[in-house]
Structure 1
Amino acid sequence: MVPLTSEVRFDFDVITRWITRGERVLDLGCGDGALLSHLINAREVLGYGIEHDTERMVACIGRGLNVLQIDLEQGLAGFEDGQFDHVIMSLSLQAVHNTEGILDEMLRVGHEAVVSFPNFGYWRHRVSINEGHMPVSDSLPYQWYNTPNVRFFTMADFEQLCEQRGIRILERVAFDEDREITIDPNNYASVAIYRLGRA
């Protein structure tokens, strides 16, 4: 789940690079609207956010953003096919039960999708599990008993799901904190960002 923060995260630059000026963008699980606000300022996008949490919605409204309160588990039935150039889900996919359904919906209403998530295969997470504890880190900042995350998966798991669902991986960038990881990212990256399309 996207942290409630006004701080610009390292992944903003990657996502911004994939967005063309003036695009129509839908940000799912938009949190306090920091990413959407950044894209409006940097790329002059026509942006809409979807957020279920009331406090985060209020933060979005405070930024002057167009935001709707929708439960993503119910899909995106109110939106037309191809209505958006990009549908983004930044650091929220792991908090959704209906993973397959939301990926399908993102690529139904958007020409492309962008997703980022914490990589559960990250080596520090593996060390925590080997020591008998669920991992807590910058990318997984919650304790096991209060986490909003319902899915714990690796980059390899996600790529396998994409292959099974006929989802094409157009680009992938992986990071450990703010450092890009190109060698064995499934082990050494804490966060992964994907640009997706239909195969």
Structure 2
Amino acid sequence: MRFDLQIIASLIADGSRVLDLGCGKGDLLQYLREKKRVEGFGIEIDEHEVIECVERGLSVLHGDMNEETRDFADGSFDYVILSQTLQQVFDPEKIIDEMLRIGRTGIVSFPCFNHIAIKLQLLLKSRAPVTEELPYEWYNTPNIRVITLRDFRGFCARRGIRINNEIAISTHHRDETGQVVRFLPDWFAKYGIFALARPAGEMPRAGRDFGRG
């Protein structure tokens, strides 16, 4: 399992209720089910990956996360996860608001566009950077958002979102190994992972129904 997903899994309490947005083939959900006994649920837009999830015995909806999350009651989950997808989301504010509406904790991870390798490419080559983590050219990239750790902290501050945990990591795109970056994370982190919550007075009461409607 990818290193960033291992870090995310370490933040999940045993026996909790989890929704994974853009869950892919279900690696994280399967791990959490087997190792932490969670009641897991996923949403994935890729039909082939949904089929693979179902074959693994996972509960996954085929659809757009922006549409499907509307059907869940406030506080339906303990954790709602969005891993390495925020930079491709058309309306980040909306999806994060939805995550914190239906979940007590939202966990978000994204590639850092301020890594030193990216800065050096811009400085020395004057071209849109291409790295192992961001392997696309400017004309075919699915990434429509350029996010840095500092930008995301500022976003949370402006929206009144509480950051309960922030972890900066260095790892290659799909590697199972990596390291936590503690020294100058704004320069050397390749990915950021944030655990988010609404201020205590704004948190909706937990729902009991996983069903739609």
TM-score by length of 2: 0.86
Q: Say whether 1:161 aligns with 2:129.
A: no
Task: Give the Cα–Cα distance (whole angstroms) in 1 for the partners of residues 130 and 35 of structure 2.
Answer: 32
Residue 187 of structure 1 is matched in structure 2 by 187
State the AA in 1 paired with 2:148. T
Count residues with an aligned counterpart. Answer: 192
Report what 2:117 is aligned to: 124
> Structure 2 residue aligned with 1:149, among 135, 139, 143?
143
CA distance in 2, matches of 1:146, 1:44: 39
1:42-57 equivalences under 5 Å are 42-57=35-50
* CA distance, structure 2, for counterparts of residue 13 and residue 22 of structure 1: 17
Query: Which has the larger displacement, 44-53 or 123-132?
Result: 123-132
In terms of Rg, which structure is larger? 2
Name 1:96's counterpart in structure 2: 89
Point out which structure has higher relative CO (alpha carbons under 8 A, 6+ apart): 2
Give the ranges of 4+ consecutive aligned residues of structure 1 lying more than 3 Å apart after TM superposition: none
Gaps of 5+ in 2: 172-177, 200-213
Corresponding residue number in structure 1 for 2:134: 140
Q: CA deviation at 1:70?
A: 2.2
The CA deviation at 1:41 is 1.4
Task: Say whether the 8 Å CA contact 2:42–2:60 is kept in structure 1.
Answer: yes
Q: Given residue 152 of structure 1, which amino acid in structure 2 is its aligned partner?
A: V
State, as a whole percentage, how many aligned pairs show the same letter: 43
| CA distances 1:15-58 after superposition (whole Å, capped 9, x unpaired) | 12211111100000111111111111111110001111112212
Letter in 2 for 1:142: Y
2:20 aligns with 27
Q: Residues 133 and 61 of structure 1: is their aligned pair in 2 closer, same or farther, counting only changes over 3 Å?
A: farther
Q: Give the superposition deviation at 1:85.
A: 0.2
After TM superposition, give the deviation of residue 150 of structure 1 in Å: 1.4
After TM superposition, give the deviation of residue 102 of structure 1 in Å: 0.5
Would the aligned equivalents of 1:28 and 1:87 in 2 still touch at CA under 8 Å?
yes
In 2, Cα distance between equivalents of 1:12 and 1:56: 17
SS for the counterpart of 1:12 is helix
- Aligned letter for 2:62? Q
Letter in 1 for 2:183: I
Pairwise CA RMSD: 1.3
**Partner amino acid for 1:184?**
L
CA distance in 1 between partners of 2:6 and 2:67 (Å): 30
Q: Say which SS state the counterpart of residue 165 (structure 2) adopts.
A: strand
Matched, 1:172 2:199: no
- AA in 2 matched with 1:151: R
Mark the CA change 1:29 to 1:166 in structure 2 (over 3 Å): closer, same or farther: same
Q: Distance in 2 between matches of 1:52 and 1:191?
A: 23
The letter for the 2-side match of 1:161 is: F
Greater Cα offset, 75-84 or 52-61 = 52-61
SS in 2 for 1:112: strand
Structure 1 residues 112-121 or 141-150, which shifts more? 141-150
With 106-115 and 60-69 compared, the bigger mean Cα shift is at 60-69
Looking at structure 1, the residues matched to 133 and 73 of structure 2 have their Cα atoms a distance apart, in angstroms, of 33
Aligned-residue offset at 1:75 = 6.2
Residue aligning to 1:4: none
Q: Where does structure 1 lack aligned partners over 5 or more consecutive residues?
A: 1-7
